Structure 1
């Protein structure tokens, strides 16, 4: 059984992107963990965000039809409809596109993402997209009922219902002048667009508060708070935690292997434990709420969830402990409102923690102190850095493909839906969003050597849409 969700803002952008050099102004928290042990394994961007990770398969057979985008004195014929994604660990997602001019990359990986990390962040109509998802196909499987609600006297099939739904979404997500070629699909799109009301962003399928903790050996470190719509979440400690004798416990100090929504978890570190780091993986099976956004680090067009089967969802918490010195906990989160990456450093040690960039100290976190600093990253730029032994990487993709750029000059193929679907093999998927054959633009890397942690910060240009 599938469940529903919604989408973002009315902004358009052409598929042709000329990425600019990254402005490296602002503060970055970085440095060494005094007395800490081996580095934590690579950490996903937006640590603790959690949720589903999936691979896009293309448009769902029988669930799309044709539409026409009007703009810049020409019309582009595209396919419009439902995508299908396979969830890592099991499960299936069905999504609509919320980035009409950006291409879909072949078998791109997607992560469940809060609206704040996508173009929906600044879209005042994001809630209306969610309303459309909840009141149309596939959430409404009775197509006769859907047709009647829209005032359509003829029959709707899955393809026409999906096309009409996608067209209505594009009008809010991209501000696009787009219409379905079939009159019944267009009538559905008009009804959905005019009827939509703003509703709140859905909660995550699985996420953590305070997903990066630190402190002295001999203490209970935390809490890490669990938020999920699943009935039960399994809790598994890493080998590093087991080897150090660190136990995962609840508020009462009892060892736990499962948790529920609202549970608080702690790392009980023995006083004899040598300085080190470890992680905790949480996993559950649940339906991802309709309206959750899915973003890709390969610059594949952003998607919004229209339905979910029972699917595997994950989240990871990190812990660092030492006996003395500076003991920083680091977390990272995309911030589309500010145009960059928020890096939060909390120092649970008994010495000040210097934050350095390229050999220059730009901030100092006192013992027991915490600070969030913004690292500016330009749209479509990739960042890749290690702080205090933890690796973070991602792409800032906060705008729809038409923002401030012309519509693509390349002629879309009749089979394309919105942006053309491309990949390293050059094989096209059926896709939504207008097609483009934008040339590859290689970006210069900005390298920052972060003292103490021996960290290197790479900011690379993302490939332009259509590459």
Structure 2
């Protein structure tokens, strides 16, 4: 391990990778309905993707260029490496990033997922927009070091000085840290960047769906799920050959490519059995500067400073039922500013696209949704503590659902901010008795914690189907739509 990584955290890479494969590949058979009330009913379909099921996935390599920073604290000064990380993107290409949690650990091999600020410490940071300015006006976006040195009013900058000064500036804004660069030139660059930084907007995702799930009836076009991207060309990948789904636009025309803002629908034949399908889109693009990257191991959150062209994907799920309620749901962590008076937590969005009421039980509380209703249920969570939020059909429902568990460790604050609020009491979600609690690994000795929202969402990001999917020869479907 390179000495630049000043602490070590563990990760459950095997479990997360397996869950991600399940999310992207599509279908998992649900268990049989149980109980007298469900004796004549089949098990309803349930879609549970994560909101950010899209964009770049990358593995941390090492610091590419770095110097030394000095953290000034009540217990004295501490030297840490400060510089530019490099990550290898799944599908090829690289990302260069800076960290936004000075006290949090990281190590090579950690898997990162592109994320909105919504579920990170940047959501509650009023300086987050200024961090984007710093990234766009410093190294490596400005790779002419003589030009950068002239702007900052210093005699000269090495690559190491530029990286260290930029990281120090980011930490001052992300953590409010009392930190300086050991090298005088790097320190002057950091001062220049912080002094001149102006707020900029959060960059949009490289590729994702909004929302990431839809539900409806066979014989209809289910959707839309809207593509959000900065890419010029986005390719729609066909569903599995065994799926009856046909991806179309609002008029029912087959779709092979889409642009930002386009809505996709899933056309299901009238005689299809109950089922579900995964929509996948793919693009070759760069990841915008300022996008967040989070890990499943509470490793230091990263922000993108530069990106090569790479292949990114996004997925959405669709569910259909022939009669009754048509439930689907998704979840995402929500981070609030620590001084806002609001509580961070997990938002679970529930859908019912059928013609009967459907009652979900979320963390022990029942929520009845009328036909066509959509509702978001917020579960308050405690920072840095493992949670387990279960979702199932309420007792007495005509159809049963295989229970779903969103689990992980909330990571909404930088480590320094979390330390300042640990004594506050926050209501905890009630665990679902019928579902075993899932907790993170105990990493107290290494300065890390259990899984974050990535593990929570991907770990539950499975499509559950209660009936066999009707197999239709894809060539016949293609010919029918071309006529």
Please classify the TM superposition score into its range, dividing by the shorter chain length: 0.7 to 0.9
CA contact (8 A) 1:326 1:350 kept: yes
| 1:330 corresponds to | 329
| 2:71 corresponds to | 69
Q: Between the two structures, name the one with larger relative contact order (CA 8 Å, sep ≥ 6).
A: 1
Give, in angstroms, the shift of residue 325 of structure 1. Answer: 1.4
Q: Secondary structure at the match of 1:403?
A: helix
CA contact (8 A) 2:205 2:288 kept: yes
CA contact (8 A) 1:294 1:303 kept: yes
Q: Secondary structure at the match of 1:189?
A: helix
Q: Secondary structure at the match of 2:266?
A: strand
1:218-229 pair list within 5 angstroms? 218-229=219-230
Where does structure 2 lack aligned partners over 5 or more consecutive residues? 1-6, 10-30, 337-342, 393-400, 421-427, 449-483
Residues 1:125 and 2:127 are matched in the alignment: yes
Identify if the C-alpha distance between structure 1 residues 178 and 158 changes in structure 2 by more than 3 Å, giving closer, same or farther. same
| 1:374 corresponds to | 378
Give, in angstroms, the shift of residue 164 of structure 1. Answer: 0.4
Residues 1:270 and 2:272 are matched in the alignment: no
CA distance in 2, matches of 1:392, 1:232: 33
CA-to-partner distance for each residue in 1:19-77, whole Å, 9 max, x for gaps? xxxxxxxxxxxx9997456766xx65335x411111111211xx100111101130001
Give, in angstroms, the shift of residue 367 of structure 1. Answer: 1.5
| 1:249 corresponds to | 248
CA distance in 2, matches of 1:332, 1:110: 19
Identify if the C-alpha distance between structure 1 residues 157 and 142 changes in structure 2 by more than 3 Å, giving closer, same or farther. same
Q: Secondary structure at the match of 1:402?
A: helix
| 2:447 corresponds to | 466
| TM-score w.r.t. length of structure 2 | 0.75
| 2:432 corresponds to | 448
Flag the structure with higher strand content: 1
CA distance in 2, matches of 1:151, 1:267: 57
Q: Secondary structure at the match of 2:139?
A: coil
Identify if the C-alpha distance between structure 1 residues 198 and 179 changes in structure 2 by more than 3 Å, giving closer, same or farther. same
1:290-369 pair list within 5 angstroms? 290-337=289-336, 338-357=343-362, 362-369=366-373
> Of 119, 138, 141, which aligns to 2:140?
138
CA contact (8 A) 1:119 1:399 kept: yes
Identify if the C-alpha distance between structure 1 residues 36 and 232 changes in structure 2 by more than 3 Å, giving closer, same or farther. farther
| 2:413 corresponds to | 399
> Of 147, 152, 155, which aligns to 1:150?
152
CA contact (8 A) 2:172 2:179 kept: yes
| 1:427 corresponds to | none
Give, in angstroms, the shift of residue 209 of structure 1. Answer: 1.1
Residues 1:99 and 2:101 are matched in the alignment: yes
CA-to-partner distance for each residue in 1:349-378, whole Å, 9 max, x for gaps? 1111112257x5522111221111012222
Residues 1:189 and 2:190 are matched in the alignment: yes
Identify if the C-alpha distance between structure 1 residues 139 and 225 changes in structure 2 by more than 3 Å, giving closer, same or farther. same
Give, in angstroms, the shift of residue 106 of structure 1. Answer: 3.7
CA contact (8 A) 1:347 1:370 kept: yes
Q: Secondary structure at the match of 1:82?
A: strand
CA distance in 2, matches of 1:137, 1:317: 36
Give, in angstroms, the shift of residue 393 of structure 1. Answer: 4.7
| 1:180 corresponds to | 181
CA contact (8 A) 2:228 2:261 kept: yes
CA distance in 2, matches of 1:120, 1:260: 28
CA contact (8 A) 1:67 1:163 kept: yes
| TM-score w.r.t. length of structure 1 | 0.78
Residues 1:53 and 2:57 are matched in the alignment: yes
Number of equivalent positions: 390
Q: Secondary structure at the match of 2:255?
A: coil
